[in-house]
């Protein structure tokens, strides 16, 4: 059983037991809460050097997002596959745009420049 199948099974098991989300806004609040916890951890100068706590918080965020998929009756596996395919198409478009400008890499470009390439790629695909 894959991890994404396991989370679907566990979410359904929790729901069957009565431990379930009632409304989508509850899951969204949990997602926002997990993002806030990650931000606090990233800004903590005394954070674990081995990143254990950060990994735990990111895992909690992923779990909340996949819970949203299950709640919305979407397959976490199919959802992740679709978004990865979309990212792959857009990344390829970014590469093509850069190559058309004579660039072999975007290394050293500012974040704003990178987002400019991303926006152009989004329009292209």
User: What's the predicted TM-score (pTM) here?
Assistant: 0.87
Indicate if the pLDDT at residue 43 is higher than 90.
no
Max distance between CA atoms of the chain, in angstroms, equals 59
Q: Show the domains of the chain with their CATH numbers.
A: 3-74 (1.10.287.1080), 81-124 (no CATH)
Given CA atoms 29, 30, 35, 37 in this order, what sign does their dihedral have? Answer: positive
For 102, the token pair is: 């004579």
pLDDT given at position 52: 87
pLDDT tens string 58-104: 999 999 999 999 999 999 999 999 999 999 999 999 999 999 999 99
Mean pLDDT score of the chain: 94
Indicate if the pLDDT at residue 46 is higher than 90.
no
Rounded CA-CA distance 65/57 in Å is 13
Q: Which of 31, 105, 41, 94 is nearest to 62 (CA)?
A: 31
Indicate if the pLDDT at residue 119 is higher than 90.
yes
Band the pLDDT of 41: cuts 50, 70, 90: confident
């Amino acid at each position: 059983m894959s991890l994404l199948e396991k989370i679907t099974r566990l979410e359904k098991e929790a729901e069957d037991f009565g431990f379930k989300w009632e409304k989508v806004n509850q899951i969204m609040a949990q997602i926002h809460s997990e993002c806030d916890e990650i931000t606090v951890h990233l800004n903590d100068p005394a954070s674990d050097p081995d990143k254990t706590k950060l990994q735990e918080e990111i895992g909690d965020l992923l779990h909340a997002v996949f819970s949203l998929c299950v709640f919305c009756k979407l397959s976490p596996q199919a959802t992740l596959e679709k978004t990865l395919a979309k990212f792959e198409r857009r990344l390829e478009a970014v590469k093509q745009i850069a190559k058309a400008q004579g660039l072999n890499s975007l290394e050293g470009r500012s974040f704003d420049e990178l987002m400019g390439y991303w926006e152009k790629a989004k329009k292209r695909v």
